[in-house]
Structure 1
Amino acid sequence: MLECAFARPRQTPVSTKTTPYLVRAWRLTRMLLHVLHGALILAVRYPRLTNPERAVITRAWARKMLDIFGVRLAIRGDNPGFYPANTLLVANHVSWLDIIALSGGTVSRFVAKKEIRTWPAIGWMAANGGTLFIDRSNRRDASRVNGQLAEALEQGGCMSVFPEGTTSDGFGLLPFKSSLFESAVIAGSQVQPVAIRYLDETGALTDKVAFIGEATIAQTLGRLLATRRLTVELVYGQRLQAGAPGLATRFELSAAAREEILAALGLKEERVEAPCDQAADPALAPN
């Protein structure tokens, strides 16, 4: 018997109406132009700016992109600021859209799987935006990334990780991998849990933009462009100070952060008989 994702009952959307094709084409055109604008900023302006100055530009760019997609950003809880120093953000992971949503609330640099570095355009933008890349097939690579994370945090940076190690449908929460929490222990950082929820126009939880299974970026983008209205909700939990009583190790920080996100998602832990797909992959097992 395996401890798996902790899920709420699925909610069936009331409305199935989609946007007209002209609206989708207009959104796509605006998106491509905004991506080109972002690439120009990364190539020309970013190298000359401080991290706080970059954060101001990044948040504005992210919020405009959400507006282009017709996505409303809703923030609940105590947002620590647009670029809190020495802070490790940890969030559940549903979609590539999570990165844009999080940047619209609290700007940070991200840790991503190394494969993204080879993606056309996206890989270049991620690398030039300060993303750290990790080889998830090699457990020893976590040590290297932890060193880079800790150094960035100690220098006043704000970094983000998705400790599930993969995406889910947003209806549950997968087990956390605790390895990258070690960076917060080393740097004496604050850990900020953030729960990400996607809601349709009726206010029901939806997996329409979930990047799971055999879905491709193009498919999820197509579903997003066809969605009339979508809300992404960021729920900030209680901040956790690494090194405080009960939060001295990466395991304690991971467990406490997961409890905060579970509570924000309105989930309760339970054991299920059916194993998760991720449980079959040793590289994704919690540690």
Structure 2
Amino acid sequence: MKSTDTTPIVARFGRVLRLLAHLAIGVFIVATRYSRLAQAERAVVTRRWAQQALKIMGAVVTVRGINPGFYPPNTLLVANHVSWLDIIALNSCTVSRFVAKREIRKWPLIGWLAYVAGTLFIDRGNRRDASRVNQILAEAMQNGGCMAVFPESTTSDGSGLLPFKASLFEAALLAGGTVQPVSLRYQRPDGSLLREAAYIDDISLLQSMRLVLSVPRIEIEICYGKPLKAGDAGLDNRFQLAEEARREVARGLGLQLEEAPAPQAAPAVETGA
């Protein structure tokens, strides 16, 4: 990366200060009144916070496809997984409650924020735990919720698409809900892949944030694929749903699954379920 493509030190320091202040505002809202808000009000607050966070980081979002709404009911949103930025990017357009691995609950501050925001935590080392989470997911969807999962179960560099794990697609069948595939691509203004956004290898969260803040402008392309009605012909089991959702995400990324390059995913930093 050329030095001219790097955010100047002074501007980067300013971003850090503004981001910390914005995080403090989020903590204050969550700690004082978030739990008392109706779900629709929470969605509005969450989307506004996410949009401002992206603006501070120099990120611009472009949407393709049809956005199902800022909090579509009885919906399971599924997306490819590249970065910790994914949650902020998705929430800037369509607000969801996420499923994450159990270890994140123990992260300082972030784990608490995720818990209060309604994140569901899954023990990925226990296959039977998926059944428990599916029941909770299905109930939340039936009650009008929009839930989100990253079915690759780990991050990649964004150049390809890993296989989707089908276990949590069962929730959409139990709820009679809709699976909404979403593709996420981080790129430079010239359209080339922005690898600094990928949260992979052995880098820490702090190192990853430092990389992201060093980029002057991040372009995030969010592509909504064709909604999939769980239980329809050809979509009446979790494996069919997972495979069709993966095809839709691949289309949004401009990938042919048979010819898609293998993403650089190992060793990856696992941030979602």
State the TM-score, normalized to the length of structure 1.
Answer: 0.89
**Structure 1: stretches of 5+ with no match in the other structure:** 1-12
8 Å Cα contact 1:201/1:231 also seen in 2:
yes
2:26 matched residue in structure 1: 38
Deviation at 1:203, TM superposition (A): 1.8
In the alignment, structure 1 residue 131 sits paired with structure 2 residue 119: yes
**Following the alignment from structure 2 to structure 1, what is the Cα–Cα distance between the partners of residues 215 and 116?**
30
Report the AA paired with residue 159 of structure 1. Answer: M
8 Å Cα contact 1:14/1:202 also seen in 2:
no
Deviation at 1:270, TM superposition (A): 2.9
**Following the alignment from structure 1 to structure 2, what is the Cα–Cα distance between the partners of residues 197 and 159?**
21
In the alignment, structure 1 residue 200 sits paired with structure 2 residue 160: no
1:4 matched residue in structure 2: none
2:198 matched residue in structure 1: 210
Work out the percentage of aligned pairs sharing the same amino acid: 56
Report the AA paired with residue 265 of structure 1. Answer: L
How many residues of Structure 1 are paired with residues of Structure 2 in the alignment?
A: 268
**Following the alignment from structure 2 to structure 1, what is the Cα–Cα distance between the partners of residues 2 and 10?**
24
Report the AA paired with residue 96 of structure 1. Answer: W
8 Å Cα contact 1:90/1:257 also seen in 2:
yes
In the alignment, structure 1 residue 181 sits paired with structure 2 residue 169: yes
8 Å Cα contact 1:15/1:202 also seen in 2:
no
**1:276/1:44 Cα in 2 relative to 1: closer, same or farther (>3 Å)?**
closer
Within the candidate set 208, 223, 231, 2:211 is matched to 223
Deviation at 1:17, TM superposition (A): 1.8
1:3 matched residue in structure 2: none
2:252 matched residue in structure 1: 264
**1:209/1:167 Cα in 2 relative to 1: closer, same or farther (>3 Å)?**
same
**Following the alignment from structure 2 to structure 1, what is the Cα–Cα distance between the partners of residues 3 and 19?**
25
8 Å Cα contact 1:87/1:153 also seen in 2:
yes
2:14 matched residue in structure 1: 26
Q: Which has the higher contact order (CA 8 A, sep 6+)?
A: 1
8 Å Cα contact 2:201/2:265 also seen in 1:
no
Deviation at 1:277, TM superposition (A): 6.4
8 Å Cα contact 2:138/2:172 also seen in 1:
yes
Within the candidate set 120, 135, 150, 1:147 is matched to 135
Q: 1:35-72 CA distances to partner (integer Å, 9 max, x unpaired)?
A: 11101111111111111110001000000000000000
SS at match of 2:92: helix
Report the AA paired with residue 143 of structure 2. Answer: Q
**Following the alignment from structure 2 to structure 1, what is the Cα–Cα distance between the partners of residues 173 and 95?**
21
**Following the alignment from structure 1 to structure 2, what is the Cα–Cα distance between the partners of residues 78 and 35?**
30
1:88 matched residue in structure 2: 76
**Following the alignment from structure 1 to structure 2, what is the Cα–Cα distance between the partners of residues 205 and 14?**
15
1:49 matched residue in structure 2: 37
**Structure 2: stretches of 5+ with no match in the other structure:** none
8 Å Cα contact 2:161/2:263 also seen in 1:
no
**Following the alignment from structure 1 to structure 2, what is the Cα–Cα distance between the partners of residues 66 and 97?**
9
Report the AA paired with residue 224 of structure 2. Answer: Y
Within the candidate set 148, 153, 156, 1:160 is matched to 148
Within the candidate set 63, 67, 73, 1:75 is matched to 63
CA RMSD of aligned residues (A): 2.1
Q: 1:213-251 CA distances to partner (integer Å, 9 max, x unpaired)?
A: 112111111111110111111000000000111111111
**Following the alignment from structure 2 to structure 1, what is the Cα–Cα distance between the partners of residues 198 and 172?**
28
SS at match of 1:208: helix
**1:140/1:270 Cα in 2 relative to 1: closer, same or farther (>3 Å)?**
same
1:5 matched residue in structure 2: none
Report the AA paired with residue 122 of structure 1. Answer: I
**Following the alignment from structure 1 to structure 2, what is the Cα–Cα distance between the partners of residues 178 and 234?**
22
**Following the alignment from structure 1 to structure 2, what is the Cα–Cα distance between the partners of residues 180 and 202?**
36
